[in-house]
Every structure is written in C-alpha cells, then in structure tokens.
Amino acid sequence: MKTLKTAVVGAGIYGVNHIEVYLQNPHVTLAAVCDLNEETRRKISEKYKVKTYADLQEMLDAESPDAVSIATPDNFHLEPALACIEREIPILVEKPLATTAEDCRKIIQAAKKHNTRVAVDFHKRWDPAAIRIYNLLRQSKGYPIRGYMNMDDIIDVPTKWFKWTNTSSPVDFLGSHCVDLIRWYMGCEATEVYAVGTKKLLASQGIDTYDNIQSIITFENGATWTVENSWVLPSGFAKNNDGRTSILTSEFLIRADSQDRGLQIFDSQKQSTPNVYFFNEFNGKIFGFGADPINSFIDCIINKKDFVACAIDGLEAAKITEAIHLSVETKTPVKIEREI
Ligand SMILES: NC(=O)c1ccc[n+]([C@@H]2O[C@H](COP(=O)([O-])OP(=O)(O)OC[C@H]3O[C@@H](n4cnc5c(N)ncnc54)[C@H](O)[C@@H]3O)[C@@H](O)[C@H]2O)c1
C-alpha cells in the first residue's frame, strides 16, 4: 500500500496528537512539523526527531507533503488551509474549520478551484457513545422531539492552556463540537438560534470572552435543542471537561454522560475521571476516538473514500456558532439560511 508523506502545522497541545498518531500509522511518513514558536520547534525536534520549520511555505516547498494536518489556534486555520489547498494538498483541519462562515466559504471555494479535499477533525463523531446514538437515530422509525447537550471546560483551559483565548469562545472551542454532533444526529440543518451569554468571570481576569453561552436551536425536522457551553468550571472538577447529552424522541429517551466514562481515580489531592476512550496507549500503540479521525483521514486519502466530516460540515457548524454569537449580541433570534 502507498505510504503518504504528512506534515503538521501547529504543534501545541493538540498538534502533538497528530504528530504521535502519524508516527504510528504504518501508511504514513511524518516529513515535518511547522510551528511559529521557536521553543516548541526545539522540543518537537528533540522529542520526535522530526524536521521543523517556522515558515509554512518553506516547509511545503522543501517537503512537498501528500497530506497536512492543521492544528493552529481556532481563529488561525484559514491561512495555512489556503496555503495547502493552493498546492492541491489534502488537509485535515482541527475543529472548528474556521470561526466565521465567511472563512469556511473561502476554504470551500479554494478547495473547489484546486480540486482538493478538506477534512475537519470533529473527533466526537468517533466517540463510541456518539456512534451508538447516531445508529439508534438512523435506524429508528420515530422522530426526535427534544435534545440537550452541554460541553464545558474547567477555567484552566481559557486562563492557563492558551494564549489565544481572546480570539475564541466556549462556543467556537466546545460548541462547534456540539452543533456538529447534533447536525449529524438530526440528519438535517438548523433553521433558527436564540442564545444568551455572560461575560463576567473571565473578563474580570482580563480575558475578553464569554464565561457561558446557552442556546436554543431549532432544526428542519422540528426538533429543538438546548446547548450549553461554559469555560469556567472550577479547577477542582474531576476532569478537564464535562459533557452530557439527552435526547427525547417519539420512541425513546437517550442519555449519555461523557464526564464519567467508568474509571475513577482517587489520590491525596482529588478524584479524577479520565476519558479512557479518547486517547489511550497500550503495547506501544496509541488508540481511541482522538486518534481514529487522524487515521481515518489517511485511510480516506489512500482508499479514495469520502471524509467522515468535510468542509461543508465545517461551514454548517460555523453558520450555527456564528448565529449563536450574533443572537447573544443582538438579544434576538437569528435565522439560518440553507445554502447547499
Ligand atoms: N487542546 C484541546 O483539548 C483541543 C482539543 C481538540 C481540538 N483542539 C483544536 O486544535 C487547535 C489547536 O489547539 P491547541 O490546543 O493545540 O492550541 P495551542 O495553543 O496549544 O497550540 C497552537 C500552536 O499553533 C502554533 N501556531 C499558531 N499560529 C501558527 C501558524 N500560523 N503557523 C504555525 N504554527 C502556528 C502555536 O505556536 C502553538 O504551538 C484549535 O483549533 C483547537 O480548537 C484542541
């Protein structure tokens, strides 16, 4: 089978996962990593013995990769995405594809012009619980009536993990996963959003973004969803994030809890509930629903299959998250138009 030469752009907390998965994929040679930060480049080349570049164009000129992962901060996906697409290199872009629908459309237009494929790493679609819910809903003869989904992070994520929190929001960072999963579950598009939000706790620490946003989203099939995304859970919470889903259909009630996956660890400091299904390692192999979409990207290129989540999914998710932000600002419901 053909081996693909890959590269990763953005080698922070999440880009490292792409690096490690590529290093283990037998159909891939990791050619190089690009990151703006000198210290990051030094650590990456030392740990993974891979060539690093500060300049993306220089890396693309020198390495001519067959596929590229983009894991730059939420608001900085457009430029590297266009740079790769213009060279007809298929890309896997971390969620959200972009923080505005306009940027997503630019990516889609460029991809059409250069006949290049774009995948989005909406990794929750590979969560075993999400797959079971998706299959249940697809096989059901009933219809969905109401849904609830929350995804929240502990306050350390916006205050300590990132330097770019001001340019994102809990809805861009977490809500993009929620709206993608809900579109996938519903099999149709959102028509209207009403949302309220609070800027208080993070603002008091000099970070200009929302602590919390609550949204009500109506879908074409008539189902209404409540979505909650917060970035200010207490640091002592048992996991970095919290997430629950509840779906009421004409046939059943589904509940999922992604906070507690069944493993609890207690030490002298606190109780923790690690997500053993996300990234796990055994016998020298990394696996889990964090690794699956990266391996799937490679499989889809080699075997010429459709990507599980593509740029259109990224655009439709961004239309919803953009409408959520607009609704919070205008304090009015915002309609979402179908365009595809
Ligand atoms: N951290 C998570 O839990 C997580 C989970 C899923 C998805 N993601 C997504 O992954 C993306 C990256 O997040 P992260 O957590 O790794 O952030 P991060 O801040 O840890 O890393 C971003 C890296 O990108 C580099 N960078 C910025 N602009 C660049 C550019 N133009 N060219 C090359 N390098 C550049 C930075 O120097 C930094 O090393 C985001 O879109 C995020 O939503 C993160």
- The closest alpha carbon to 336, from 174, 195, 125, belongs to 195
The yes-or-no verdict on residue 339 having pLDDT over 80 is: no
Q: Ligand 1, closest atom to CA 164?
A: 19
The reported pLDDT for the residue numbered 1 is: 62
Residues 172 and 192 grouped into a single domain: yes
Residue owning the nearest CA to atom 8 of ligand 1: 14
The yes-or-no verdict on residue 260 having pLDDT over 90 is: no
Q: Ligand 1, closest atom to CA 16?
A: 16
**Mean local confidence (pLDDT), 132-140:** 97
Question: pLDDT of 11-37, one tens digit each?
Answer: 999 999 999 999 999 999 999 999 999
Measured distance CA(223)–CA(21) in Å, rounded: 37
Q: Ligand 1, closest atom to CA 9?
A: 33
Structural domains in the chain (count): 2
Residues 137 and 255 grouped into a single domain: yes
Distance 14 CA to ligand 1 centre (A): 6
> Which residues have CB under 8 Å from 89's CB, separation 6+?
60, 65, 66, 67, 68, 116
| 270 inside domain | yes
| 295 inside domain | yes
Residues 153 and 66 grouped into a single domain: no
Residue-wise DSSP of 264-295: -EE-SS-EE---TTTSEEETTEEESTTTHHHH
The yes-or-no verdict on residue 6 having pLDDT over 70 is: yes
**Mean local confidence (pLDDT), 58-78:** 98
Residues 129 and 113 grouped into a single domain: no
Residue owning the nearest CA to atom 33 of ligand 1: 35
| 282 inside domain | no
Residue owning the nearest CA to atom 28 of ligand 1: 72
Residue owning the nearest CA to atom 5 of ligand 1: 14
Residue owning the nearest CA to atom 9 of ligand 1: 94
Question: pLDDT of 289-338, one tens digit each?
Answer: 999 999 999 999 999 999 999 999 999 999 999 999 999 999 999 999 98
Residues 243 and 113 grouped into a single domain: no
Distance 178 CA to ligand 1 centre (A): 19
**Mean local confidence (pLDDT), 97-115:** 98
Q: Do residues 101 and 322 lie in contact, with contact meaning Cβ atoms separated by under 8 Å?
A: yes
Residues 262 and 166 grouped into a single domain: yes
| 325 inside domain | yes
Residues 157 and 94 grouped into a single domain: no
Residues 109 and 155 grouped into a single domain: no
**Mean local confidence (pLDDT), 163-170:** 95
Give the CATH number, domain containing residue 200.
Answer: 3.30.360.10
Residues 244 and 187 grouped into a single domain: yes
Domain that holds residue 33: 4-122+290-308
| 281 inside domain | no
- Ligand 1 neighbours (beta carbon < 6 A): 9-15, 34-37, 40, 56, 71-74, 76, 80, 94-95, 162, 173
Evaluated on CA atoms 137, 182, 245, 14, the torsion sign reads: positive
Residues 113 and 66 grouped into a single domain: yes
Residue owning the nearest CA to atom 27 of ligand 1: 72
Question: pLDDT of 119-131, one tens digit each?
Answer: 999 999 999 999 9
Question: pLDDT of 197-233, one tens digit each?
Answer: 999 999 999 999 999 999 999 999 999 999 999 999 9
Residues 39 and 102 grouped into a single domain: yes
Within 13 Å, how many C-alpha atoms sit on residue 136's CB side? 16
